[in-house]
Amino acid sequence: MLLQGRWGRMFSSVKPYENQRYASLKKECQRRKQLFEDPLFPANDDSLFYKSRIQGIQWKRPKEICDDPHLFVDGISSHDLHQGQVGNCWFVAACSSLASRESLWQKVIPDWKEQEWNPEKPESYVGIFHFQFWRFGQWLDVVIDDRLPTLHNQLIYCHSNSRNEFWCALVEKAYAKLSGCYEALDGGNTADALVDFTGGVSEPIDLTEGDYIADEAKRNVLFERVLKVHNRGGLISCSIKATSAADMEARLACGLVKGHAYAVTDVRKVRLGHGLLSFFKSEKLDMIRMRNPWGEREWNGPWSDTSEEWQKVSKSEREKMGMTVEDDGEFWMTFEDFCKYFTDIIKCRLINTSYLSIHKTWEEAVLRGAWTRNSDPLKNRCGGCINHKDTFLQNPQYVFDVKKTEDEVLISIQQKPKRTSRKEGKGENLAIGFDIHKVDHGSCIELTLDEPPHTCWSGMCGYPQVVSQIHVLAAAGLKNQDSQGGADPYVIIKCEGQKVRSPVKKNTVSPEFDIKGLFYRKKPGQPIIVQIWNHNLISDEFLGQVVLKGDPSDRQSVHTLHLQDKGNRRSNDLPGTIALRLLSSNTLTNV
């Protein structure tokens, strides 16, 4: 288990994978005047498969496939890549995104000029390459030879448009070596590749769960976030979830393919109109560009390559967007249509930790741990999920400080897969997760004691003894605040100096709040106070409150209480009632 936030690490140190050092291996091959053969990833079936087989495969060096091989032909582009005979569209989509970011691909493909074939110095070429990937908090330098699997003299895996361009095939081979074999790349996760290419933090978003197609305001916020990730150099991928095996790679009538990863290659607000009128109108459309790793089969709806909608955009704007009408797998959509058809999007954010940066920076901590079993509950570190309440708190725990209320926290948890082998078969990731709880202040460390150490302050400060959850459902019969007979109420829940506030409900005396507050209470004798206020432009007005004990023995499902005034006045001297649920327990994991 690796729990971390990250970046700044684009320029961090690199560790040679399996202790293979590219420079010394190349120098030795040049001295011996022989081509490099990688003993750790041999040119045989063990490097290709776990169990399945393809007959007739021959491993060939680029010089045996074409006359004039190169790493790059006419530069590097997201159009270079085509998926081969392994189901790794997720990896190819990530490579397409990578190719559009010079600062990123030059990290993955280091010394690319030195690694390129040099026709003026043919003796310097010894068939060795190296590539770098981020794995579990460390950049790894992976060495390979240039022998590639072919069938009928054609590359069977990832290949370029140009027969003599090999960067994508070689990057894929290095990634396959890191993963165990080529078959290990079948049916992977785009987020993993995006992180491995950047050292960034991936954020998956379920577009159907968020209902972005129906909620325009929510969709606009999402677009701004996606645009920010793109503009700040991050990588993005998307897909349409397949709900059955028959759905996998099924083509929809609109041209899109289910169960298939697409690379997002551009995000922008497109100016509509022609000439000066377009600048005065300032009408813009939220748009997103994607590429199918197959290099064909595009979206055929509005704003597809040949659609009439492009007449709304000036020629200069189309040129700026790099708009083409070729069947190259790349196409534009409005963000609204994107949210209508696609079900998932993955944003990979680059997190800047440099103290010299003029942009927003992050503090980073990397912690490594493991779920380990021990018969002693105080030493056991595999307590299971929250369903196992008796042992849940025996899981590894980490505490960190959020110094300001406006601070944002990113948490990324990764697991190292078991080392794969043909005998064991392909290993699947375990289902893991984490919970976040608000506790006392601390710095970012692992908690290794069963409870905090007892000091002279322990008795004075105390530790939480009771956990209480207050769920305010609604209110009714509140005091009218204006001539229209309405109010703009909101709720504040207070407990031991902490408080939770609801959004304001507009123009109602019977609001539905549906707001929860969770409190870990050191002093169970102190009450929980729930207040209702009316929002005004100048000064908010108190409408009433209820005072709760939060006794663990009180398990009534729903309380409907009359609002009270502050102080010792009668309990029903203010108009209105409030409905809420209260759950308290002496066991801190029960709520």
Mean pLDDT, range 484-503, rounded to an integer: 87
The rounded radius of gyration (Å) of the Cα atoms in the chain is 30
Is the pLDDT at 7 greater than 60? The verdict is: no
Residue 350 has, within 13 A of its CA and on its CB side, a CA count of 21
8 has pLDDT over 50? no
Domain-located, residue 364: no
Residue from 110, 124, 121 nearest 29 by CA: 124
Whether residue 457 is predicted with pLDDT greater than 70 in this model: the reply is no
- Do 547 and 488 fall within a single domain? yes
Mean pLDDT over 95-112 rounds to 91
- Do 176 and 301 belong together in one domain? no
Our count of domains for the chain comes to 3
β-pair type (2-4, 366-368):
antiparallel
pLDDT band with cut points at 50, 70 and 90 for residue 73: very high
Token pair recorded at residue 430: 């375990």
Residue 2's pLDDT is: 45
Domain-ending residue, one of 290, 319, 349: 349
Same domain (yes/no): 32, 178: yes
Same domain, 249 and 181: no
Tell me, yes or no, whether 154 and 233 share the same domain.
Answer: no
Whether 372 is in a domain gets the answer no
Domain for residue 379, yes or no?
Answer: no
Catalytically annotated residues: 89, 260, 292
Q: Is the pLDDT of residue 147 over 60?
A: yes
User: 224 is in which domain, residue-wise?
Assistant: 201-349
CA dist 357 → 68, 352, 365 (Å): 43, 8, 18
Q: What is the mean pLDDT of residues 49-57?
A: 82
Q: Where residue 518 sits, what CATH number does that domain have? A: 2.60.40.150
pLDDT confidence of 538, banded at 50, 70, 90?
A: confident
Same domain, 249 and 334: yes
* Six token digits for residue 122: 């043919």
- Residue 186 shares a structural domain with residue 216: no
For residue 483, the 8-state DSSP code is T
Q: Which of 316, 332, 349 is the last residue of a domain?
A: 349
Going by their DSSP bridges, the two strands 577-585 and 466-476 should be labelled as: antiparallel
pLDDT, average across residues 51-62? 87
Residues 6+ apart with CB under 8 A from 86: 157, 182, 183, 185, 186
Domain assignment of residue 458, yes or no: no
Convert the pLDDT of each residue in 261-318 to its tens digit: 898 999 999 988 776 665 556 688 999 999 887 767 789 999 998 889 998 888 888 8
pTM: 0.72
